[in-house]
């Protein structure tokens, strides 16, 4: 009888211990999940959306420009022209340019009263040249929190011809500028150019450099 009661008591004790262990394990497992959830960090980051204009994949560029051309001995005059460029790579390009201007009277003509060194037709100046250009310092301009535009600086150098005073002069040119891309097919161009040639308009050989500042608008296609 006693052995039966002992076995019954032991069985009940074992069942009670098993229940306690299961409850403790469940509690430990729940607390572990809570700890893991507390360790998860959710940063409150506000990301801004930026619209960036990609450059057009086409390599041809055509533009027009207006500026001021300082012609030695003949004052500073308006100049207009066109350009056509082929972009060989992202950095190198070839550009052809044609410009026109009309010169003023020299200081000698103004002071002498009636002396005119050139006729009206001879005061017309035009030039054309072909240049090799190099793009560098590629960057971006941020207009607002959502808009950014590409830009870069460039240098050019080349040679061509200047038609002035009814004569043609071999001319070398050099310059630098900043190109600002407003869209993937439209760009603003702000640059300075120098045109050097030798003439004998005043009886002796003289080498001059005509400085030109221009603002241009280019289309890519």
Model confidence at 105: pLDDT above 90 = no
Residue among 55, 221, 60 nearest 138 (CA): 55
In this structure, are residues 162 and 169 in contact, taking their beta carbons and an 8 Å threshold? Answer: yes
Q: What is the pLDDT of residue 87?
A: 95
Q: What is the pLDDT of residue 24?
A: 47
Q: What is the pLDDT of residue 120?
A: 81
CA dihedral (23, 28, 33, 39) in degrees, to 10, reads 160
Handedness of CA 27, 28, 29, 33 (dihedral sign): positive
In this structure, are residues 79 and 103 in contact, taking their beta carbons and an 8 Å threshold? Answer: no
Q: What is the pLDDT of residue 98?
A: 98
Domain boundaries, the chain: 51-220
Which pTM was predicted? 0.71
Q: Give the tens place of pLDDT for each residue, 165-179.
A: 889 999 999 999 999
Q: Give the tens place of pLDDT for each residue, 24-47.
A: 444 444 445 555 555 566 666 666
Model confidence at 23: pLDDT above 90 = no
Q: What is the pLDDT of residue 121?
A: 86
Q: What is the pLDDT of residue 26?
A: 46
Q: Give the tens place of pLDDT for each residue, 132-167.
A: 999 999 888 777 777 778 899 999 999 999 999 889
Cα R_g (the chain), whole angstroms: 40
Q: Give the tens place of pLDDT for each residue, 184-214.
A: 889 999 999 999 999 988 778 999 999 999 9
Q: What is the pLDDT of residue 5?
A: 59
Backbone angles phi, psi at 24, to 5 degrees: -65, -40
Q: What is the pLDDT of residue 46?
A: 64
Residue 1: how many CB atoms within 10 A of its CB? 5
Q: Report the pLDDT averaged over residues 84-93.
A: 95
Handedness of CA 13, 15, 21, 24 (dihedral sign): negative
Q: Report the pLDDT averaged over residues 71-90.
A: 93
For the domain 51-220, what is the CATH code?
2.40.160.20
Range ranked top by mean pLDDT from 72-76, 125-129, 141-145: 125-129
Q: What is the pLDDT of residue 65?
A: 98
């Amino acid at each position: 009888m006693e052995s039966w009661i002992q076995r019954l008591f032991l069985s009940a004790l074992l069942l009670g211990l098993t229940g306690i262990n299961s409850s403790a394990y469940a509690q430990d497992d729940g607390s572990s999940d809570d700890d893991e959830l507390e360790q998860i960090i959710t940063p409150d980051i506000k990301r801004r959306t930026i619209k960036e204009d990609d450059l057009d994949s086409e390599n041809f560029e055509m533009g027009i420009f207006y500026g001021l051309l300082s012609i030695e001995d003949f004052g500073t005059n308006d100049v207009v022209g066109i350009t056509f460029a082929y972009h060989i790579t992202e950095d190198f390009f070839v550009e052809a340019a044609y410009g026109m201007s009309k010169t003023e009277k020299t200081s000698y003509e103004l002071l002498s009263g009636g002396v005119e060194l050139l006729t009206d037709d001879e005061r017309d100046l035009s030039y054309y040249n072909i240049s090799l250009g190099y793009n560098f310092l590629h960057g971006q301009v941020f207009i607002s929190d959502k808009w950014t535009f590409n830009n870069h600086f460039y240098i050019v150098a080349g040679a061509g011809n200047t038609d002035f005073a009814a004569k043609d002069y071999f001319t070398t040119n050099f310059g630098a500028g900043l190109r600002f891309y407003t869209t993937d097919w439209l760009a603003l161009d702000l640059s300075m150019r120098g045109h050097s040639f030798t003439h004998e308009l005043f009886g002796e050989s003289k080498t001059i450099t005509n400085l030109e500042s221009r603002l241009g608008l280019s289309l890519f296609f």
